[in-house]
Amino acid sequence: MNHRFPKLLTVLALASVFALSACSSSSKDGKANGDANGQEAEESFTLKVPDAEIWGEESSALQTMYDAYEDKHPNIKLEQVTMKDDQTLAAALVSGEATDLMLMDPSAAKERYKSNYLAPLDAYYSKYGWDATMYKWAKNAYVEDDKAIGIPWNYEGLILMYNESMFKDNGWTIPTDYDELMALVPKIKAKGIMPFAWGSSDNPGVDDWWVTSIVNGVLGPDGTKQLFSGDTKWTDPSIVEAIQRYSDFWNAGYVTDKKSYAISQDDSMQLFLTGKAAMRLDGTWSLAADNEPDFDIDFAQFPSWKNDGTPVIPLGVGGGLVINAQSEHKDAVAELLNEFFSPEVVKTMAQHGIPEPIETDYGAMDLKPNVSKALDMINDAAKEGKSGYVAWSYGPPRVVQVLESDFPSVYLKKTTVEAWLADLQQKKEQDVAENRIFDLANY
């Protein structure tokens, strides 16, 4: 499993941010902020930036960006700082110890902008033309009160990973809807193979991926928008039926032989890589993983959870780059951010399966064949209106907290599907009342 920055600000962390005013001030090694005409670049000072290893292999692009900037500005030192989780970052903001450049999810960024922790970036978007080729929906993830407050780091989506060799050897076809899926999985299980490898013991939040895929496949893109930010309720009969289907599916042993809650994501990946499972629900972050099993791996759209439905690829912004409002060197940070759009960084991102949300010709890059194929598949889905919305980027915050912590109570039958979804609807209504709903009108 890839270790990505946490996707949602916790209630505890939010509370600590809201309770205190944005009175932080970053300590710097150099002189005062210069003007916008490049004077600052002639000074010597230190910028605090996120540790380039925060996402492991995925974030080699950060180091590429840092190296390019330091080559051009040898007088400016980049001090890489590790923030182990979002609560640590929240505490650093309050104490004035946060980095000048920060990595932050859209929902967290919006809340912190309201508390005056983030700098607006409209002047820099205009100066550098960052949005010239940027997907509008991605930029909108970092717009609050008509102000651009961040740069979307990447887009990510949920896809099907499968053992291509196994499918070819058995003459199996990739299912596109629930009927085709249910016709296939008994055949796989009859051969002593797990249809799906899955594990959530080390990270319950990944169960959100299943719910996200299910609701997008049942409701379609427009319906999912209404579920997350409109009038559609979590208690809608189609959602009740779909979640019940998953509970039945899991209890039939089609997901890690009913042991997914007891094993880790890494362990479930090993089940897949050793040929003990035929498929996995996974994401774009897995495209360029250094997996070398004794069979061919391929990717496809995850089947719709509807009888005769159409596959939908849920997409979202996986995170973003923002500037600390208390930084004394905002212009220098913006110039560092401009390196994010250099061809070298764009290519490095794509090679690791985490493409920047900009118009790009992947055919001109030296990508692994399955990475290039999957990225083209995602782009085609977006162009054809068959891309949806990931819950962790766009769902109501209280709802997402439940999706990322309590889905096992459904398939372990500790509660009923109806009661669980009624609780989600109540939490959505609380977020609506507090104006914490992600506005998807422009997506």
Number of structural domains in the chain: 2
Which range of residues forms the domain containing residue 272? 157-315+387-433
Residue 240 and residue 126 share a domain: no
- 61-79 pLDDT per residue, tens: 899 999 999 999 999 999 9
Residue 323 and residue 300 share a domain: no
Q: What is the DSSP string of 265-276?
A: HHHHHHHHHTTS
Q: Is residue 424 part of a domain?
A: yes
Residue 79 and residue 181 share a domain: no
Cβ contact 148:310 at 8 Å:
no
What is the CB-side half-sphere exposure of residue 131 using CA atoms within 13 A? 21
Query: Average of pLDDT values for 286-301?
Result: 86
> Who's near 146: CB < 8 A, 6+ residues apart?
none
Residue 21 and residue 129 share a domain: yes
Residue 234 and residue 167 share a domain: yes
Residue 417 and residue 333 share a domain: no
Compare 55 and 71 and report the one with higher pLDDT. 71
Residue 195 and residue 83 share a domain: no
What pairs with residue 388 in β-bridges? 314
What the block records as the tokens of 291 is 């997996």
Residue 127 and residue 231 share a domain: no
What the block records as the tokens of 332 is 């220098």
Quick check: helix, strand or coil at residue 195? strand
- 331-353 pLDDT per residue, tens: 999 999 999 999 999 998 888 87
What does residue 80 show for φ and ψ, rounded to 5 degrees?
A: -85, 125
Residue 60 sits in a domain of what CATH number? 3.40.190.10
Quick check: helix, strand or coil at residue 77? strand
Residue 336 and residue 232 share a domain: no
- 149-158 pLDDT per residue, tens: 999 988 888 9
Residue 221 and residue 305 share a domain: yes
- 397-414 pLDDT per residue, tens: 899 999 999 999 999 999
What the block records as the tokens of 369 is 């064949």
Residue 123 and residue 103 share a domain: yes
Highest mean pLDDT among 98-112, 293-307, 373-387: 293-307
pTM: 0.77
Residue 240 and residue 203 share a domain: yes
